Every structure is written in structure tokens, then in C-alpha cells.
Structure 1
């Protein structure tokens, strides 16, 4: 141990105290030994530092910071160097605000387009997400502070995220859901990882020995700190045994006492605690060192804003450009329509909300763009229903214009932490507006603002389509620079856009039933499914247009990688994202038709040719063998494909790769759907063959009394009237707040109360309610109201008395 001598000077109580927070955002300190607190802050795309007494859910405004484009946006840049630059500037701002640990980036897979937090995640592909995450981590940690990769692992939905049990087979877990984390650990060398709320195959992730010990600690040799998601600790001793050092937020000493009692009773060896303390001390001392030196307390606000703009410009995706309507020709008169033009939608909602230092709005940026605007009309109510008057006024303006810029998208309440989207549509009142505008002026360029994929049955009504995603505080100006031609678009989609939500591979199993969610589609998520099952999509993974054209030629493949030539055959300079896909020609082991195994983004002047090299690495040909329980290589011919998207392969070659000789782990006859790739409606029986065990019952047991891990939502089945009243009160409060327009507060109720397990009452109240008091609340809910009420008051008096003694 690195700090063995210091640890020997600590009392058992002091060591235990370091294992949970001092308050909502700070870790505990031990002044007599020179151990200071750390400050942790949300910040996947901007620092959200709240004062120590502030709440986790964002009810209070944070200190102003640069709001960079979200991860879903930057992922579309396919530029790892750009990701490192974002991380670099995030790290600089973390230092300015004395933040030791920045809680990001988020790298969960986009298993389903309705996940409410997809705007915070990079990709549907683990290799792509891992490489982008590693670049962020390198940038953040170059300043001496720590990144915190989250949420480990298989947290791919928001509904019931604190209680849901994710049922996934081992191969899919390794290849799809853990690979990005593996890259973040091995290449990014993240100092901190946040465990997720959910269960994984029966065990909470922060208590899951297979995930935390066998894979993270032993296989990946991770020696950093694991912190719970806020309120995400269930059994504190089981978490420590799994190697989850830090529990956040504070429990006011409650779990400290549990640790002490476990050691005294022999349930927990003190050396396990010592090892956890040692890893945590290393993080505390290494991140606090930068603040002990001279450091900047301020950062260049204008410079950081310009960087945010540059990042947004490179991440914007041009999806349609009929008749080369874009870039806009000089002198064309433009009508600007849409509520998002006036009030930009530039970030998500929930714990990642940033209080921006500057905020660009479209209508304030027209003069410098050179685009001639003849006026603006709102066109639709952001949160309302169809408004004929707004539509008529927008159409009157559109009739006078050469081109209409129509700003549409999803509102702030639709994409939010704690909630999943109900569908893939943009609101009907926006579509009604679009159809009305098309009747008076067909030259429509739609500018889409949202953090995830949407259906587009209306796409034939627009000639141009630009997706800005959530472009941060400078996104509005960046979009205008692309529309005007000052910037040549180079973004490409990091997720597939299906024609209809019903065609997504996880449609039948999202967000799962009450107690669990079954990943029956296995490794066939995103383009892996669509390409293998030959399903048409609206826009494929890796797709994006440019104002110039690129020609691929002269492919050469050897054992080290692939080289080829890339020529800009157009009239202007541009950047192209070249993508390496690999497919195995053997049919012995089921696989996707192709998988991303490398990419590069290259700037090329008009008429110029460059030679591009994309190397192979340890992940190029591997698969996880569930018989040998390790990564293997199948001996076979492999197809090497270079494409402009997963569906636009420009160059192909093959290479023979010697295998590791492992036996085939599957009986092909028993897994027909997985071998065909038609994995969108797998039977329970076939899924169980893949799992090699029975799937657990997916519904709640309504006969048992409610316990610590049951949710407030389950109070609808409570034996006691008090419990059922709680449920109906919450449902009514949510409905009422939504009706009167208090949507943010309504969402907060669903996120922080409705889906919360009872244990969260103790874990998230900073010790105001402890576990013995919670026992009384559960008695009240389960039909023993007065006995439970007496128990609550009795335990509260004991708690107050203990606090006074201490």
C-alpha cells in the first residue's frame, strides 16, 4: 500500500469515515493527519459546481461555467483530438472552481433511442464511445484533477434505474457494454469510476463481485477509486467487499458505524478497509496537490466560448441537401421560424445542467453570418398544442422569403435524467407547422435540436436538414456558420436513425418489465442489427454529408492495419471521417455482419490526396468465448472494409488471421435467431439457451411486504392504506404540475421520488432519515401505521440523543 504508514496512524473510526461523504459534494477530511476533503461536481459537458449545502438534483443554480456541446454531439465529430481539447478546457475550469473530481464522461451504450439520458452518452458502438471517452479523460486529467467515467455498467434506461435488474449474457456484456469502459480504464487511465444504480444479473453493480473484482480490478488491473452514484449504495459492506470505496452523498455517519461493526464482528477484514482507504487517499492527495500550488482562480471566458463554438461546428451533421440548397447562396432572403431559434435548445436536463457563461441565440447572430433575414416568427408553442394563429403568421412570413430556416426539435422536459422518452417523434404541433409552411414555400431547411434520434416521416417536406444535436452555449452561432458556408460540415452520426421506433432491435424489451429488463437482442444493437438483419434505416451509423466530395482508393491490408488514399474531388476544403469495419467470413460463431474497429478524421484541401493509415489493435479480431471465459480470436478470413458510413463501404479487402484455437462455444441449431441476426423478437426459450440459465421473474412479488429495495412506485400495491395514499398523492401531484406547466418539477417528482427505492430515503437525505427510522416508515406502509409511527419517533429521539453526545 502506498500510504501504509499514514493509515496505521488512523483510528478505525477515522478510516471508516473516509468511506462516505462529508456532505452532498465533499468527501470527509481528517485535519489532524493533513487529509483534506475533495470536491466532486457534475460536468460531462461543463462544470456544475454547487456549494456544499446545495442539492444534487439541480434546484439551485450552479457557478457559471462554459457549457460545451454534450457527449452525444461531440461524438458526431468522430475526432478524438477534439474530445481531448474539450477535456483539457473542462479540466482547466475544474481547477478554477476547485473541483477535484469531474463526474463524467458518461459512456453507456445507446441500446435504445428512447433512453432519456442518451444526450449524455457518446455512441451505440463501444469502440467509438471508448476512444472518445479516453480522449476526454486524457484532457481532463492532464491538469491533475480526476475524470469519473460513468455509469458502470449496463445502465441503459432511466425508468426504474435504481432498482431494475439487467439480464444480459456474458459475451454481450463484455463485447458491447464493457468494452468502452475497458478502453477508458486502459487507454484513458481514468482515476475514478462511478458505479451505476441498477442490478446486473441479480446483484447491484457496486456489490457485483464479477463486475467489480474479477473484471475491473483483476482483469483490467484498475487501481483507482470507485464511487457510488448518489444514493446508489444498498448494502455498504457488500459494496466495500466488491471494491467500491466511496459512498456519496453523506449518510451522517450511519454507514461508518456499519463498517465498524462489520470489522468488529469479523464480517469484514480490516485489511479490505485499509486497501480502500489507500486508494482513496491516493486520489485525495494527487488531486489536491494542484490546488496547493499556485493555480488560476479564473479562466478566459471568451476563449473557452470560442472553443465551445469550434467543437459545435465540427459536430454538426448535414443529413439532407436537396438541390444543393446549402450553403445558402448570397443574397437569398431567409424567413426564420421556430421557437428554438429564439431560445436555443443547447443542453440536456438533470444533473448535467450547466449555468453558461455566455449564451448565443440565433436571432442575435444573423448580422455577422452574412445571411439576410427578413424576420422571425415563433411558429409553435414549445410546450403547447397546435396554435393556428402562430402557424398563419409563420406562413405569411415564409411566403415572402426565398428560403425558410425552420428550427424544430425536442424540448428540455422530453430528454431528461430519470425519465425515458415516450416515443421517437417530435411534437405534432411542430410537424403541423412544417406541413403548412411547405404549402407556401417548399424551400425549407430544417434545423434539428435534440440529443437523440427521432423519427422523420416528414423528411420529404424539407430540402435541407441540419442536425445540431445539443451544441452548447455557442451552438446557435455554429449552426449559422454551417448554413452560410463559413464552415464545411463534417459531423457524422454516432447512432443509427431507424425509419420507425418499432424496427429497433430492443423494441420488444424496453424499458423491461417491473423488476427486470432482458437484453434478448444480445450483441445486435444499433447498426450491428440493422446491417446484419438487412433492415432499411433512415440514416445509418456514421452518416453525414459535406459541401465537398471524397474519393477512396488504393486499399492495402497487412498484419498491422490498412492504408488507403483519400482525395477531395470537390471545390472546397473539408474533413472526412474514414471508418474501418471488420467482418468475419466464418459462420461458426454468430457475429454482426460488420463491426467498427477504427476511424480517422482527415482534413483535405480541394483537389488534394492523402494517404490514410488505420492500425489494427488488440480489439480488431477478438470475441469473448464463454467456454474459455476469455478473449479469443477465431481462425478465419476477415473482410476489411473502409467506409464513409456503416452502409456506404467504399473499399474492401480480406486478410487471413490465425486463431487461438478455442472451441466453438455455441450449438448453432439451438440459436437460430442469433446466427441469422434477426434478433428483434427473440423467444424466452432461445434467450435462456444463450444465457445458460433461466431468466428471473420480471414482475414484482405483490404478496410480500415492501422492503428496502422496493420502490415508492410499488406503494400502489401496499398492504397499508398509508402506502397507497402516498402512491396516489405522488401520481396526482405529477399530473397537476404537468397540467399547469410546471413540467420541470413534475419530472423531478418522477426522477427523485416515484422510482426511488425506499433505501434511497436514508441514502439521499444526508442522514436526516436513518435506516432504523426507515424501518418505521416501512411498517406504516405495510399496514402497521401507528406502530411504525411510534418507531419513527423513537428512533429519531435516539438519533438526536446520539448526535448530542457526539
Structure 2
């Protein structure tokens, strides 16, 4: 008896010592895992299986007996979508589900400001709570590999580093409200055409350097709770059952603790998906008990094809997410479509607008001299909160361009409107039904010309809309739709004071417009406050600070996927022949001049760079490179400059891009003042991925640190050496 007491005391002491040597956070995690284990032990196999598949369009099963609620989810890249019926896509006709329309993904990327991404996430999380949604299917940040992708507007940029910085903050913002962010689409969903069938062949280096870094950052730095597998295959295996992506990389290498859920209808097998990393199967229609992860999964477990230990791991992950969200203590009540949320949408929109051209300083508009304004174009009166196949928002309100311009300039100027073109295109229509959408409407153009002749200034609102850029299909060309080029030509011929405002989420062919027009503004699908932000920018109340998050090619065939004839693929396979040379990496390395380069954007003031230096000249692996330089505002108004640091390896032993973005910072500088910029780069971030050695390698030798205003506008250069 005495020996038993001694053994018990010793064991107790060991446990106490173990807890004494772990942090409070780890203690909490150990206690949570113990709690989850206790819950799982009480569950029957059938109850566990019921948690692993959808039981309605946007929910998966709970266990009522054990007070485990359903896991509810909702679309979210543009805001919490309107309530739909439980078992079909028709509106539930609620009167309390109007939400804030947030700027689209590429608009957020154009801010080049992680603070704006966080602000976006907080609003989304608060509005999700108000609607009792636990998982928000956002953010979406697949790499913009080629410009025609129908979801480019929803994604972020062509650069993995920029994507990562924004994704981390978006995730943190959402999850600060005890709502799970669902990062998507994992991985390489870079085209919509054939997305449910296409096999993307991507070498390991390109995967590791281009397509995975933002997901890794969102998991390891953002602590994302859920992730959505993509529709496509990667290297021969469906993303929903891709052992390399889901088990080897995501769960083992990155230590992901949360849930992998399928895209809706993106599951193809039972045992393969269960064993290779999928946790929840979601879809769009019943019968739900016949899905791969319903009765067939139960049968697979009983037949020994899937272990119950594997099922327990999936349930453990779901409960882990729930204890951080719906079953968490102090869960926020949330709020929706508030004034504060509208202000957040305005702030993001304000920083996203890109000034592409401003010849003769036409902008900002001189309100004391302008007595009449012609506002022309269907996009001046169009809203963008919904449309096409992509998730939309039943916006509480959306300020159009015309409404914003009237509110800002209407007291001092006569403002009149002409439609100019018809946007007669529907994403749900066939090509035959959409025939003629690209033809100019001569009657509407004549009306626009007549109005433009009489105005001091014409503001011509063109571009795309949510029908034309849509999930489920890609555009066929870079041409502006709806005969808009003819409208531009006609209006600018009669009024040289024409400002072109383009509302779109992806690159278009602006060659003619760039040559002939004096002022060009890019304004995105910019949320509930889009019209007000645009008008304030035109008036000079906002100094434009947006920068392009992707390259605009001069011609479609300059883009790597088209130059190498890899899009849309053959026999349901597309080979990513360009490897790591995506976006500006391709254009810079191949010496191809784009129409507009990555990171480009003008301001109403001018910035000069000087005095770049580094804290040392030589570094080794694990060190931090501290870079310092000065940026002066040479103008008369304050402005925000986005300083970009690129790194170039001198005489690399392996193929590399000419330069790669490794840091950036957005700074507000008062007129005539100089800001001292300090930015750090980790030497380890200079590594390339060696397929031969299957690891990251920091190559010793000489490097250039390039301080730039865009990928083509290098202002200062410093040289360093990395030692072995």
C-alpha cells in the first residue's frame, strides 16, 4: 500500500511539473483537448459521422443529445450574404439580413495596407455574429495567375508576399470576433473554366514559392480555423483528397489544427477523401444521408477502409473550432450594417482607388471653376453588391458613382447623366443569348456626346460588373465590354476634360484609353461607400494611394499562361510551364513591358527617395536585414506612399526572377516633410525551394535591395552579401 502511494505521488508530481513547464496558452490547449476527448468518448459512431457532412446548404450536423450545435457557415468575401432557404438557393425573404457591402478582394489588395484587411475582417466577423454564422467562407486569396479568371475580383494579387500579409490580417480580424475564417481555395484554383475537372500540373518549387505561402502564413501566423479545398486537381489528385496538400503539408508540416471542408460539391470519393485529409463534405443538394461522408462513410468505417481513429480526429477538429467560436466563452453578440461598418467600407475604398493617369493635372477637380459636370456610363448608376454566380450581399445601401458625385459637387455644379451604353450580359445566359453584348449602342452614344459637349467636365464611368466578372466562367478577352471603347472615343473627341473612371476587379485592355485620355481612375467594386470615396478622391479630399495588385499586360499573349499556351489546358490538364515566373516576375525577367506594372499608382503629390542603407553589409542565415532610407513629400498636400522593397540575387546559381517583393510599408507624409523609413527583411526569406533537396536554401553571395515605388520604378539600391 505504501508503494502504491509513493507511485501515485510520483505520478502526480510529474504531471504538476509538466504543467509547470508549459505556458498558460499550452495549459489551456491541453485542458481543451482533454475536454474534447471526453466529449468524443460519449459519442456513437453514427453521431460522429453526422458531424462530417452537410445537413443543409450552409450547415453540417451537431449532436443535440450532447448540446453540440450545428456548424453554420456563410459566403463572405464581399460581406455576409442574404439569408437563403435551408435546402435551396432561393431567398428566405428576411427583412433583417441587409448587410454592409465590403470592397472586393483586389480592392483590398490595392490598398497595400494590412490594417485595411484587418478592418475588413473585423466588420465581417461582427456581421457574421449578428447573423449567427460561425464559419465565414473568406478570405479568398488564390494567386492571380492569369488576367481572365472570373474570380480575380474576389482574390487578392499576383504576389505571394502581398497576399500573405493581407490574408493574415483578414483572418485575425474575422477571428477576433470568435468567428472562424475559412481560407480558400486550397490550392491553385487559378481559373474558372473547367475548374471542376482541370488537373493543374505544378512543380514543387512553384507550389512552395508562389501558390502556398499565403496559405501557410494564414495558418501559422493568422491561426486560421478552417480551410476550403479547391475544386481542381493538383498533380493528379483532387484537392479534396490530396494527401500531399492536406495531410503532408497542411496538417503535419504546418501544424494546422482546424477543419478542412470541401468546396460545395467538390468531393469525389469516400475513403480516399477521408484518409487523405478532408474533414467535412459540403454541397448544394440532398439527399444528405447519401453523400460520400454520410452513409457511405459509415459503411467504409465498418468495412475497415477508414479507421474510427481517423473519424475521431475529424470530430476533434470540428469541436476544437467550435470551442473557439460558437461554444466559446464571451462570444460577441455582433452588429450589422452599422454606421461604423459603413465608415470602415469607406476607409478601405478610399485607400484602394488607383490613379493611373493625370496629365495636365486635371485632377483633383477645381470645384470653384467647374459649373457643369456630365456623368456618363451605365456603371455610374449600377450597384455591384450582387450579380453573376459569385456570392453577393443584400446591401443595406450602396452609394453609386452618380449619387456620390451629386452629393459632393451638386451644390456648386449642374450635374446631368447619360447612360452611354447598355450592360446587356448575364452570367447565366449562353453565348448565343449574350450575343451582341460587346456592340456599341449608337443612340446612347449620341446622347452622351450631346451632353458631354455642354459640360465643363465629363466623368465617364465604364468597366465591368458582377455579371461579366463572375464565378463559374472566365472572360474570353481583355477587351472592354459593352462597346465602351466606342463610347470613350466619341466622348473624348468632344470634351478634352474627360475623366475615365473604370469599375472592375481585374485587368482590361486600356491601350487606347492610356494614349488618348488625360485622366484615368481605377475604382473596383468598392463596397457600400464606393460613390462617396470616388467623389472625395475626384475632389481632392482624398489623395489617391491605391497601387495595382497585379500586372496589366499590354496584350493578352504577353501573359505567361497565354505565351506558353497553357490556358485553358488540353484534355483537362494544364501545365504551369512558367513555374515561379508569375505576374511581374515573368514580365521583368523576360523584359516584357506591361501596360501597367505591379505596384503602380499615382498621387496628387510627388515623393522622392534618398539615402538607402543597411545596418550591415554582410549577413548569415537567421539574421535580419534592417533597411533604412528617406522619403520626402515634395508637394503641397499630404499623401500616402507605398514603399516597396524588392530583392534581386546577383549571379544566382539557380533560375530566379529578376526581383521579388519581400517587404512593403504604407506611410503618410505631410507636405514638404521627410519620413525615415525602416523596414526589416529576414535573411531566411531570401531562400529558394530546392526540389532536389526538398528544402529551402539561402544561397550565399551578393544581393541587391531595391527600394521602389512600383516593380518598374526603382528609386534606391543597396547591396549586401550573405555568407555561408
Of 191, 200, 224 in structure 2, the residue corresponding to residue 157 of structure 1 is: 191
Contact 1:58 1:350 (8 Å CA) reproduced: no
1:329 paired with 2:366, answer yes
Structure 1 residues 90 and 321 mapped into 2: Cα distance closer, same or farther (>3 Å)?
A: same
| Cα RMSD, aligned residues only | 1.8
Partner-residue secondary structure (3-state), 2:595: strand
Moved more, 262-271 or 134-143: 262-271
State the partner residue of 1:525. Answer: 582
Contact 1:68 1:86 (8 Å CA) reproduced: yes
CA deviation after TM superposition for structure 1 residue 200, in Å: 0.7
CA deviation after TM superposition for structure 1 residue 474, in Å: 1.2
State the partner residue of 1:390. Answer: 444
1:364 paired with 2:397, answer no
State the partner residue of 2:607. Answer: 550
Residue correspondence of structure 1 range 64-213 to structure 2 within 5 A: 64-213=98-247
State the partner residue of 2:9. Answer: none
Of 280, 295, 298 in structure 2, the residue corresponding to residue 246 of structure 1 is: 280
Partner-residue secondary structure (3-state), 2:501: strand
Please list the CA deviations of residues 65-121 of structure 1 after superposition, one character each: whole Å capped at 9, or x if unmatched.
101101111100000011101111111111111010000101100000000000010
Rounded to whole Å, the distance in 2 between the matches of 1:39 and 1:581 is 42
Rounded to whole Å, the distance in 1 between the matches of 2:264 and 2:90 is 10
TM-score between both structures, scaled by the size of structure 2: 0.88
1:474 paired with 2:529, answer yes
Contact 2:84 2:92 (8 Å CA) reproduced: no
1:588 paired with 2:653, answer yes
Rounded to whole Å, the distance in 2 between the matches of 1:251 and 1:285 is 29
State the partner residue of 2:571. Answer: 514
Rounded to whole Å, the distance in 2 between the matches of 1:647 and 1:581 is 11
Q: Which has the higher helix share?
A: 1
State the partner residue of 2:294. Answer: 256
Of 265, 280, 289 in structure 1, the residue corresponding to residue 303 of structure 2 is: 265
Rounded to whole Å, the distance in 1 between the matches of 2:324 and 2:77 is 21
Rounded to whole Å, the distance in 2 between the matches of 1:5 and 1:145 is 24
Contact 1:41 1:49 (8 Å CA) reproduced: no
Rounded to whole Å, the distance in 1 between the matches of 2:722 and 2:91 is 52
CA deviation after TM superposition for structure 1 residue 7, in Å: 0.9
State the partner residue of 2:319. Answer: 281
State the partner residue of 1:350. Answer: 389
1:610 paired with 2:675, answer yes
Rounded to whole Å, the distance in 2 between the matches of 1:299 and 1:272 is 39
State the partner residue of 1:673. Answer: none
Rounded to whole Å, the distance in 1 between the matches of 2:442 and 2:382 is 21
Please list the CA deviations of residues 448-499 of structure 1 after superposition, one character each: whole Å capped at 9, or x if unmatched.
0111000113222211000001101211111111011111000000000111
Contact 2:177 2:332 (8 Å CA) reproduced: no
CA deviation after TM superposition for structure 1 residue 368, in Å: 3.2
Rounded to whole Å, the distance in 1 between the matches of 2:243 and 2:155 is 26
CA deviation after TM superposition for structure 1 residue 295, in Å: 4.4
1:465 paired with 2:513, answer no
Partner-residue secondary structure (3-state), 2:273: helix
Structure 1 residues 220 and 57 mapped into 2: Cα distance closer, same or farther (>3 Å)?
A: farther
Of 319, 328, 336 in structure 1, the residue corresponding to residue 356 of structure 2 is: 319
Of 46, 51, 61 in structure 2, the residue corresponding to residue 18 of structure 1 is: 51
State the partner residue of 1:450. Answer: 504
Of 636, 639, 643 in structure 1, the residue corresponding to residue 708 of structure 2 is: 643
CA deviation after TM superposition for structure 1 residue 259, in Å: 1.9
Residue correspondence of structure 1 range 535-546 to structure 2 within 5 A: 535-546=592-603
Partner-residue secondary structure (3-state), 1:273: helix
Contact 1:42 1:49 (8 Å CA) reproduced: no
Rounded to whole Å, the distance in 1 between the matches of 2:414 and 2:377 is 14
CA deviation after TM superposition for structure 1 residue 229, in Å: 0.4
Rounded to whole Å, the distance in 2 between the matches of 1:646 and 1:187 is 26
Of 550, 554, 560 in structure 2, the residue corresponding to residue 499 of structure 1 is: 554
Partner-residue secondary structure (3-state), 1:39: strand
Contact 1:75 1:315 (8 Å CA) reproduced: yes
Partner-residue secondary structure (3-state), 1:598: strand
Moved more, 164-173 or 364-373: 364-373
1:375 paired with 2:416, answer yes
Contact 2:99 2:396 (8 Å CA) reproduced: yes
Consecutive unaligned residues in structure 2, runs of 5 or more: 1-32, 425-436, 616-623
CA deviation after TM superposition for structure 1 residue 59, in Å: 10
Contact 2:551 2:598 (8 Å CA) reproduced: yes
Structure 1 residues 351 and 56 mapped into 2: Cα distance closer, same or farther (>3 Å)?
A: farther
Contact 1:344 1:476 (8 Å CA) reproduced: no
Contact 1:208 1:242 (8 Å CA) reproduced: yes
Rounded to whole Å, the distance in 1 between the matches of 2:460 and 2:609 is 35
Contact 1:604 1:610 (8 Å CA) reproduced: yes
Partner-residue secondary structure (3-state), 1:119: coil
State the partner residue of 1:423. Answer: 477
State the partner residue of 1:567. Answer: 632
CA deviation after TM superposition for structure 1 residue 242, in Å: 1.7
Contact 2:199 2:572 (8 Å CA) reproduced: yes
Rounded to whole Å, the distance in 1 between the matches of 2:386 and 2:111 is 17
Partner-residue secondary structure (3-state), 2:257: coil
Contact 2:126 2:335 (8 Å CA) reproduced: no
- Number of positions where the alignment pairs a residue of Structure 1 with one of Structure 2: 658
Partner-residue secondary structure (3-state), 2:610: strand
Rounded to whole Å, the distance in 2 between the matches of 1:492 and 1:348 is 26
Partner-residue secondary structure (3-state), 2:167: helix
Please list the CA deviations of residues 124-180 of structure 1 after superposition, one character each: whole Å capped at 9, or x if unmatched.
001101110111001000011110000000110001111111111110011011111
1:600 paired with 2:655, answer no
CA deviation after TM superposition for structure 1 residue 402, in Å: 1.9
Rounded to whole Å, the distance in 1 between the matches of 2:403 and 2:48 is 55
Partner-residue secondary structure (3-state), 1:582: strand
Moved more, 71-80 or 404-413: 404-413
Rounded to whole Å, the distance in 1 between the matches of 2:102 and 2:516 is 32
Contact 2:709 2:715 (8 Å CA) reproduced: yes
Moved more, 358-367 or 265-274: 358-367
Rounded to whole Å, the distance in 1 between the matches of 2:225 and 2:683 is 23
Residue correspondence of structure 1 range 690-729 to structure 2 within 5 A: none
Of 294, 305, 308 in structure 1, the residue corresponding to residue 342 of structure 2 is: 305
Consecutive unaligned residues in structure 1, runs of 5 or more: 660-806
Contact 1:133 1:184 (8 Å CA) reproduced: yes
Partner-residue secondary structure (3-state), 1:434: helix
Moved more, 42-51 or 461-470: 42-51
Structure 1 residues 134 and 93 mapped into 2: Cα distance closer, same or farther (>3 Å)?
A: same
1:414 paired with 2:468, answer yes
Rounded to whole Å, the distance in 2 between the matches of 1:23 and 1:129 is 32
Contact 1:320 1:465 (8 Å CA) reproduced: yes
Rounded to whole Å, the distance in 2 between the matches of 1:538 and 1:506 is 17
Contact 1:348 1:415 (8 Å CA) reproduced: no
Partner-residue secondary structure (3-state), 2:196: coil
1:229 paired with 2:263, answer yes
